Amino acid sequence: GDSVTQMEGPVTLSEEAFLTINCTYTATGYPSLFWYVQYPGEGLQLLLKATKADDKGSNKGFEATYRKETTSFHLEKGSVQVSDSAVYFCALRSPNAGNMLTFGGGTRLMVKP
């Protein structure tokens, strides 16, 4: 079945550091890929998405590129801020699966001033 694997956290960075959170997936066909973010005390919200190979999703300075050859969708940001501290979830949706998302385990990011 479909699965998503994320690097385990927590990831601790200093402000303005470069961020990479790794995400790889296993799926049949050509899934859509998503990153969701969960700020403390809140529900998840969509951060960015990509629907086909080589697409780059971007939002709020975060980027991720859909790499079919390596089945990856790594999240990157050039300069993190304290306000980026949150839990980040990678997810996929298989074709014809409607809204059924398969989530990774989440990666907690802590950014220190």
Partner 1 sequence: EAQVTQNPRYLITVTGKKLTVTCSQNMNHEYMSWYRQDPGLGLRQIYYSMNVEVTDKGDVPEGYKVSRKEKRNFPLILESPSPNQTSLYFCASGWQASGELFFGEGSRLTVL
Q: Can you give the binding site for partner 1, defined by CB under 8 A?
A: 32, 34, 36, 41-46, 49, 89, 93, 98-101, 103-106
- 10 Å CB burial of residue 55 (0-12, 13-18, 19+) is middle
Report in angstroms how near the CB of residue 106 gets to partner 1 at its nearest. Answer: 5
Instruction: Please spell the DSSP secondary structure of 2-15, one letter per residue.
Output: -EEEE--S-EEEET
Closer Cβ to partner 1, 11 or 17, answer by number? 11
Q: Which is nearer to partner 1, 5 or 17 (CB)?
A: 5
Strand partners, 111: 13
Helix (H, G, I), strand (E, B) or coil at 82: helix
Nearer to partner 1, 53 or 100 (CB): 100
CB of 38 to partner 1, least distance (A): 8
